Amino acid sequence: MSVRRKSFAVAAAAVAALSSVAVAQPAVAAAQSDPGYFVKFYMGRNLTGTEIPVDYKVTNVCVNLPQRPKSVVNIAPVNAEIYFNPDCTTGFPGQTGGYYVIVGAVHSGDFDGWGVASYRLRPEYS
* Domain span including residue 93: 38-123
CATH of the domain at 72: 2.60.20.10
Confidence of residue 2 (pLDDT cuts 50, 70, 90): low
pLDDT digits (tens, 9 = 90+) for 16-30: 444 443 433 333 344
Query: Does the structure show a pLDDT above 70 at 3?
Result: no
pLDDT digits (tens, 9 = 90+) for 77-120: 999 999 999 999 999 999 989 999 999 999 999 997 889 999 99
pLDDT digits (tens, 9 = 90+) for 52-80: 999 999 999 999 999 999 999 999 999 99
The pTM for the full model equals 0.71
User: Does residue 72 contact residue 126 with C-beta atoms inside 8 Å?
Assistant: no
Q: 25 with 77, same domain?
A: no
Q: 14 with 67, same domain?
A: no
Q: 67 with 93, same domain?
A: yes
Confidence of residue 13 (pLDDT cuts 50, 70, 90): very low
Count how many domains the chain has.
2
pLDDT computed for residue 35 by the predictor? 67
Amino acid at 56: Y
Q: 90 with 60, same domain?
A: yes
Separation of alpha carbons 47 and 71, rounded Å: 6
